[in-house]
Amino acid sequence: MKIIKASFLTVLIFFVISCQPKKVGLQDNDYYKKVDSLMKLMTLQEKIGQTVMYSGGWSVTGPIISDNNISYIKNGDVGAMLNVYTAEGTRKLQEIAVNETRLGIPLLFGYDVIHGFKTIFPINLAAASSWDLDDIEKTSRIAADEASSSGIHWTFAPMLDVARDPRWGRISEGAGEDVFLTSKTAEAYVKGFQGDNLYDKTTILACAKHFVGYGAAQAGRDYHTVNMGEGELRNVYLPPFKAAIDAGVETFMTAFNELNGVPATANKFLYKEILRNEWKFNGFVVTDYTAINELIKHGFAKDAKEATKLAMNAGIDMDMMSSANRKYLSSLVKEGSLQENQVNEACRRVLLAKYKLGLFDNPYKYIDKDREKNTIYKREYLNAARHSAAISSVLLKNDARTLPLNKTQKIALIGPLANDKRHILGNWAAAGDRKGKAASVYDGFKEYLPKNRIFYAKGCEIDSKEKENFTKAISTANKADMIVLVLGEDYNMSGEAASRSSIKLPGNQTSLLKALRNKFPKKKIVLVLMNGRPLDLSEEELLTDAILEAWFPGTMGGLGIADVLFGTYNPSGKLPVTFPRNVGQIPIYYNMKNTGRPIPENNPKQDYKSNYLDIPNTPLYPFGHGLSYTKFTYSNVTLSSKSNTYSSSLEATVDIKNDGDYDGFEIAQLYIHDKVGSVTRPVKELKGFKKIFLKKGETKTITFTINAENLKFYNSNMEYTVEPGEFEIAIQGSSDFKFKNTFVLEDI
Ligand code: NOJ
C-alpha cells in the first residue's frame, strides 16, 4: 500500500509543479491530459468514488441517511460532500481524503449558497424584482467570497426554474415567471459565483438547477408531475439553462419531477440529447438529493440497482445521497449492464472540475481560517446587503403620497414581522444567523426616528388563530399619527416542500389589519410585506393606503426597508411575477396566449368569451408593476424604420421624463408581440429592459436594438426560427399597457 502511495505522490508532485495558476477555459486540453493521467492510476472503485456525494448533515436539506460517511471517505468511496462548512470543519474531512486514501484525491465541498452565505441578501425572487443584473452579479460574488473562505467550492445555485404558480414554495428561489428575465439573471449569477477565473480561490462552481420543468409542478405541489409539450419546454423552460451554459456554468442538477412520464433524473432526452448533444455541455451533472432512489417511487425502476443503471444511462455523473453509485455501479459494470467507459466519463468530468478549482495544486486552498474571519460579514458586504434590500422592494400601491414617511410623525409599528430577526432572512438562508444578527424593521426605524416616536406592538403571531394581542396593538396605534404594519409569511412557508393551497396572509394577520382599520378609519396604514411568493392581497389592497412588497430582504433587510419607507432610497423594484386576485386565477402570467375567444376590450361581460363569471381576467398587480415616489412619463416612441429584415436591426427609442418631485431609478421594459405565427405566440413578450436614473424634471432618451435573433422561437418542428410578418412593440414601465406601434419583419 505504502509503495503505491509513494509512486502516486511522485506523479502528484509532477502535477503540482506543472499546474501553474492560469485562466481556464472549458476546452483546456492540459487539464484533460492531467485528468487522463490520474485516471490511469485509478481502480474502477476509485473512479466510482468520484461520482458519489454524501451530506455532512451540518445543515439539513433533505432526509438524513445513516451511512458511515467518514469510513467511505477513507476508502476513497466519496468524491464530494455537501452540507459541511467552516475552514476548520472542511479541513478535517479534506485531511482524511488527502492523507488517508490511496490516491489522496481531494474532496469537493458543495453547499446551498442561494442568496448569500453568511451575509444574507434578499431572496432570489426579490433580487429579480430589482431587475439589477449588476447587483445580482455583485452579491453572488460576495456570496462566493464568503462561502469559499469557509471551505466551500461549489454552490447549488442558481435555480433557473421559471415558475408561474405561487402555490409552489420554490417560486421564492427563482426569478419568477418570465423566460427573458430569468435567463438574464442566470448569466449574472453564474458570472458572480464563478468570476472570470475558477482557479481564483474566491470563486466557486455554480450549478444550474433543476433540469428541468420543476417549476411547472401540477397544482403547485412540490415534486409533483409535469406534463408539457416540447414547444413550451423549449420556448419557456429551457432557455434560462442555455443562458447559464453560455455564461460558462460548470455543473447542472437534475429535477425531482418527472417530465412527460420520464423522471428527470433518468431522462436521456434531457441529458443526452439536449444537454450534451445539442448544447455541448462539458461540465458534470449531479442528481438532486436522493433522486436516484426516488426513481423507484416514481414507478420507473424496480429497485435501486435498476435506478442506478437508468441514471447512468441518462448521462448523470454524480449521485447526491442515494448511495446508489457506491452500491451498484461496480456490479453493473462487472456484469456488463453498463460500460466502464460510462463511469470513466462521469469521473473524468468531476476530476476536471477539481483541477479547474486548483484542488490538485493545493487541496486546502479554500481552507483558511484567517481569510474566513476577515471575509465573513465584512462591513462592505453588509452595506451591499442593505442596498440590495432597498432596490429589491416593490411599491405596490401608494395612495395620496402616503409614502415616504414623514419623520416628524409618531408612528405605530405593528405586526409579527415588525421586530423579527429570524424570518427576515427567508428560506435557503445558507449559513445565515437567525438568532439576532439581522436588522429588523424596528432597528431600521430607530435610525430615522427617536425612540419616543416609535410605538411597537406585535399584534399577533404569523400563523395563529389567537386575537388576544389585538387590544394591545389597538392601544399602541392609538398613540400614533399613523400605522406601519409588517405582515407576511413564516420563512418555512416558502422554499422546498412548502407549497400552500391558499396564498392569503396566514393566521389572523388580515383580521389584525381589519381591526385596526375599523378602529382608525382615518389613520393612514402602510402595509410592509415579507413573503416568498405572490400573495392574494385583494382584501389588503382595499384596507391600506400603501403597500411595500419587501419579500424576505435578508441580514440587513430592516435597514434597507427603512431606507425606502423614509425616502432615502426611492423605490424602483418591479414585479418579476404576477399577483393574482385570488388562487382561482392560477396559473396567471403576463405572456399568456390570446385564445380564440378573448374578452372584448369594450365589453368584457360578453357571453361565450374566455373569462370568469365572478372576477376579471386581469391580475391584482401585473408583471413589471412597481411604483416610485416620483412619476415617469413615456413618450415619443420612435422606430428607426417601419420594417426590418433578417440581417438588419431596428432601433426603438423612447423619451422618459421624471415628472415628479424626487430623483429616482426607473426600469424601462421592452415588449413585443408577434401577431401571427405558424404556432401561436404570446400576447406580449419581454425582450429587453434598462434601469436608468433620472433627476427630477430630467428627460432621457433610451434605445433598444431589435434584430431577428430577438424574435426567434421554436416552431412546431422544433426549429429555432424567425417568421416574417407584423410585430407590435412597446417600451413601458410595466406589462399593463396596450400596444400602439408596429413594425414588419420582411421576408428577405
Ligand atoms: C434538494 C433541493 O431540491 C436542491 O435544490 C438542493 O440543492 C439539494 N436538496 C441540496 O441541499
Q: Which residues of 298-319 are buried (b: 16+ CB within 10 A; e: fewer)?
A: bebbeebbbbbbbbbbbbbbbb
Q: Is 106 helix (H, G, I), strand (E, B) or coil?
A: coil
Beta-sheet strands, E only, within 224-323? 251-254, 258-259, 262-263, 284-286, 319-320
Pocket test residue of 123, 156, 159, 173 for ligand 1, highest count of atoms within 8 A of CB: 156
Q: What is the DSSP string of 382-407?
A: HHHHHHHHHHH-EEEEEGGG--SPPT
Pocket test residue of 252, 289, 292, 293 for ligand 1, highest count of atoms within 8 A of CB: 289
Pocket test residue of 160, 288, 428 for ligand 1, highest count of atoms within 8 A of CB: 288
Residues of the chain with pLDDT under 70: 1-28, 61-68, 748
Tell me, in angstroms, the distance from the centre of ligand 1 to residue 128's CA. Answer: 20
Polymer length in residues for the chain:
748
Q: Which residue has the cell 435610525?
A: 447
Tell me, in angstroms, the distance from the centre of ligand 1 to residue 288's CA. Answer: 6
- Residues 6 or more apart whose CB falls under 8 angstroms from that of 103 comprise 8, 38, 41, 42, 46, 76
Grid cell in block for residue 628: 416610485
CATH number of 2-371: 3.20.20.300
Contact residues of ligand 1, CB 6 A cut-off? 61-62, 82, 112, 156, 209, 288-289, 496
Segment (H or E) for 89:
helix 87-100
The CA distance from 170 to 187, in Å, is 20
What superfamily in CATH does domain 387-585 come from?
Glycoside hydrolase family 3 C-terminal domain (3.40.50.1700)
CB of 445 closer than 8 Å to CB of 413: yes
Q: What is the CA radius of gyration of the chain?
A: 27
Tell me, in angstroms, the distance from the centre of ligand 1 to residue 263's CA. Answer: 16
Instruction: Tell me if domain 387-585 and domain 632-745 are identical in fold.
Output: no
Name the pairing type of β-strands 258-259 and 643-644.
unpaired
pLDDT at 11: 45
Domain map (residue ranges) of the chain: 2-371, 387-585, 632-745
The CA distance from 432 to 555, in Å, is 8
CA angle 182/184/186 to nearest 5° reads 70
Alpha carbon 417 to its chain centroid, in Å, reads 23
Whole-number average pLDDT of the chain: 94
Predicted TM-score of the model (pTM): 0.96
Give catalytic residue positions.
288
What superfamily in CATH does domain 632-745 come from?
Immunoglobulins (2.60.40.10)
Kindly list the strands in the beta sheet with 649-658, ordered across the sheet, starting from the edge strand earlier in the chain: 632-639, 649-658, 699-707
Rounded to 10 degrees, the C-alpha dihedral 353/356/359/361 comes to: 150
Ligand 1 atom with minimal separation from the 256 CA: 3
The CA distance from 527 to 546, in Å, is 6
pLDDT at 65: 52
Which residue's CA is minimally distant from atom 4 of ligand 1? Answer: 288
Q: What is the DSSP string of 348-374?
A: HHHHHHHHHHTTTT-TTTTB-HHHHHH
Name the pairing type of β-strands 258-259 and 262-263.
antiparallel
pLDDT at 67: 53
Which residue's CA is minimally distant from atom 11 of ligand 1? Answer: 61
Tell me, in angstroms, the distance from the centre of ligand 1 to residue 438's CA. Answer: 24
pLDDT at 20: 41
Tell me, in angstroms, the distance from the centre of ligand 1 to residue 321's CA. Answer: 11
Which residue's CA is minimally distant from atom 7 of ligand 1? Answer: 156
List residues bridging with 657 in a β-sheet.
Answer: 633, 699
Give 451-502 pLDDT, tens digit per residue: 999 999 999 999 999 999 999 999 999 999 999 999 999 999 999 999 999 9
Q: Which residue has the cell 414617511?
A: 405
Angle between helical axes of 29-40 and 340-357 (0-180°, round to 10): 120
Tell me, in angstroms, the distance from the centre of ligand 1 to residue 384's CA. Answer: 26
Ligand 1 atom with minimal separation from the 110 CA: 10
pLDDT at 648: 84
Q: Among candidates 489, 589, 570, 599, which has minimal Cα distance to 533?
A: 489
